[in-house]
A and B are shown apart, each in its own frame.
Chain A
Amino acid sequence: MKRKIVKEDVDSQVFNFFNILLMIIFTAIIIIPIWNVLISSFSSGKSLAEGGFALWPRDFSLENYRAVFRDDSIWQAFFISVAKTVIGATTHVLFCAMVAYGYSKKHLKGRKLYSAIGIVTMFFSGGMVPTYLLMKSLGLLDSFWVYIIPALLSFFDVIILMNFFRSIPDSLEDSAKIDGAGDWKIFMKIYLPLSKPALATIALFNGVGQWNDFFTTKLYITNKALYPLQMKIYEIIVQSQTHTMQNIGASVVLETTAKGVQLATIVVTTLPIILIYPLLQKHFLSGMMLGAVKE
């Protein structure tokens, strides 16, 4: 009996050893390129031009970041990006939750019709031009609200939230009703606090989407004051390339290269959203487990 346990230990030790080794290799494959981007973004144009791979900056320089932040309007763009991510994600979650709350009640009139309408829109969208026409008639062209209003509802998120709401026992609601609470109060005080994991998950998905989205800007926005970071930075990259094309200012040794600016850009745009991730991760994980186990 004793021997068997020892044997199992050896087995699992071997397993653990290879498991850890494999995971280290796997993690390294993911982390090294990211690290390389981060390090290279701190290298001078000259050392980048020499090419090759580096795990440490050969010639430390902040010029790439200076090139990105030289334009004052980047802070405005940063503000727009943050605003649209925060407002967009919050309103999206609240709006979807409200719809899902109503939708989770079996006594809702016309429930089947709503779900038919919702499901159809999940599979078929109007396409670019009709959507453009719609935005135009709604007066959303060149307005900040084009980032928020069309993104308010996602039927997919409504379904996820609805399922989550259904798992909340009816007895909670009944007892609240007995105490004199109305639907609003029940929604705000019982459903929302109990659904934090699901809400956080959807907020994160939506927030990342909002942060990364530049197509909305490309199509509907012409006013540069409303450009988010993604679009602004796209402009900076394109301009760092046309700079050489227009062959201006070449008599000075350039401190930056187009590649350096691109790398700095990647770091600037990705970092904020990566930093938010750990804050939501706790909720996120339990949210992802939603419906994984059936009681």
Chain B
Amino acid sequence: MMRIKSFLNAGFLLLLALSLVLTGCTSKSSSAVKGNTDYKLDKNTPAWKLDKTKKTTTLTWYVNADWWNTDYGHDFVTKQIKKDLNLDIKFITGDDTKLNALFSSGQIPDIISIFDANSQMAQKANTWALPLDDLAKKYDPYFNKVASKETMDWHKLSDGKTYGYSNYSNTKADYDSGIIPSTTAFVIRKDVYDAIGKPEMKTPEQFVSAMEKIKTQFPKLIPFGPGEAFGEILQDYIGVPLQTDSGEFYNRNLDEDYLTWIKTFNTVYRNGGISDDSFADDDTALSDKIKSGKYASMLISGIPQKGSDLQTFMTSNPGKEYIAVDGPQSTVGHEPTLSQSGITGWMMNYITKKCKNPAKAMQLFTYLLSEKGETLTTFGIEGQTYTVNADGKYSFTPELKEMRQKNPEQFKKEYRMGEFFFFGHDKYNALSDDTALEATKQLTAWGKGKLKPHFILEGIDPDQGTPEARAVSEIQTYWDSSLVKMVRAKNDQQFDKVLDSYKSFLKQNNWDKITKIRSEKMAENRKKLGQD
């Protein structure tokens, strides 16, 4: 009996000790120091200039991407940020698993950057982040001068407050100004184009015959690829309408004009103009194929991302580079509606409720969003790393230009311009000709004036976790495989059969309800955009 008692006692003591350790730690982290506002707020001066605190602040910034370069304070850009703001940043990177672990353990960093504005996490930001509107009022009214109102409105949650700010969020004004480069084009190798007699490729018949010519004259090349082009990229390229006339959701996949072109590509496939690998290649394989010029022609999107591959091919094959020409066009007379990064943007940046010094975090956001921060992170400092010439174009100094081309590693390590893009924006890249590669200049120039905002279609999927959301993802998967089957169909009957089964799959999976939700969300979008 005695033994059992002492055993129990020991167990109890152990539990007590453990719980003490656990509670001890949690109470420590919850008593976070709140930031000071020793400076007087001024609407016309950014708070970082007013804040004269001597002591260096340290903030932890979590970036939900393993590839993020966590170095801080050693290169030109971050050294300057450190100096201007008297701020040390400790970067942490990870994936969703790590983020979950951090959240569950209550170890929430001061600033968080994530990549999905439609994720649960972003939708529930009011539970863990501080509203930027309030922070601006309290610590840095200048923020409202540098933040875009459209972007702020766009990211508003149902409580009317904005918690996150995204980079590369392009507004209607950005589109209208023509400063955003187009990133979609139909490209063809120059030598191939010349050899087949520079034919028109606008109608299905012209396109099929051009591909046949390539096939016979360049048997070693794949006339058309890769497979990623057949969905939205093609729809945008031939200008399939974004919505119905009455502003409802429109299933662009079933557009007659679009299907005519898919049938055309099916014909090209049957003539041996499209390789089966085009559908299976991963990014690495695709990149290698572009570098070695395997595809005679391509319909590509994301030209800047493919820029270095295109440039590699151009450099090692002078005179054979890919050029943009007028490719497939609508059979019913639609104009192209090329898409680019929309108002949702890319990375979302938040200041969390656990932030040790929200005032400093807000100063940092304002700083990076301001003209000074944007030019610093893109070009550095005028006179030191770049010059502005007579027609207002920014240009790196010759030494830097050389280093950037010949020794990109060193450039990254010492300067890191163009990489610290938490609040990056296309319009700043457009200030210079240096930021674009030689091989992509003609391609993006082709798309000038063909960009149309797709804002109305952003974030219109049913909320995550609902049966409709699951249906949407199933339908998407089904469509992706149907599309490949359609392009690869052996004959017209098979093509129609695949299409019919897609249509019946829609019916079986609540398509009416999904369409309704999407139409409603489109109406909300219209309201946010002030189009009502």
Where the two chains meet, the residues of A that have a C-beta atom closer than 8 Å to any C-beta of B are 46, 48-51, 70, 128-129, 132-133, 136-137, 218-219, 222, 224, 234-235, 238-239, 241-254, 257-259, 262
Contacts and interface: CB of A to CB of B under 8 A. Distances in A.
Given A129-B101, A257-B287, A262-B284, 19 more contacts: A46-B316, A70-B409, A132-B105, A137-B21, A218-B97, A239-B67, A246-B418, A249-B308, A249-B411, A250-B308, A250-B311, A251-B311, A251-B405, A252-B315, A252-B408, A254-B308, A258-B284, A258-B287, A259-B285
B288 A247 contact: no
B399 interface: no
Nearest to A141: B107
B438 A251 contact: yes
Dominant SS among interface residues on chain A: helix
15 contacts: A46-B316, A51-B289, A129-B105, A132-B101, A136-B107, A235-B66, A239-B69, A243-B308, A244-B308, A247-B305, A247-B308, A247-B437, A248-B411, A253-B316, A257-B291
Given A132-B101, A248-B412, A251-B311, A222 B291 contact: no
B291 A219 contact: no
Contacts of A219: 97-98, 101
Dominant SS among interface residues on chain B: helix
Interface of B: 21-22, 25, 66-67, 69-70, 90, 92, 94-95, 97-98, 100-101, 104-105, 107, 283-285, 287-289, 291-292, 304-305, 307-309, 311-312, 315-316, 404-409, 411-412, 418-419, 437-439
Contacts of A238: 66-67
Contacts of B22: 133, 137
A254 B312 contact: yes
Contacts, number: 112
Contacts of A224: 70
Contacts of A46: 292, 316
B254 to A, nearest CB: 33
Nearest to A247: B307
Given A243-B408, A257-B284, A257-B287, A218 B98 contact: yes
Nearest to A129: B104
Contact of A241 (B92, B104, B283, B311): B283
B105 A250 contact: no
A51 B104 CA distance: 46
Contacts of B292: 46, 49-50
Nearest to A234: B66
Contacts of B305: 244-245, 247
B85 to A, nearest CB: 22
Contacts of B69: 239
A247 B69 CA distance: 15
Contacts of B98: 218-219
Nearest to A138: B21
A259 B284 CA distance: 6
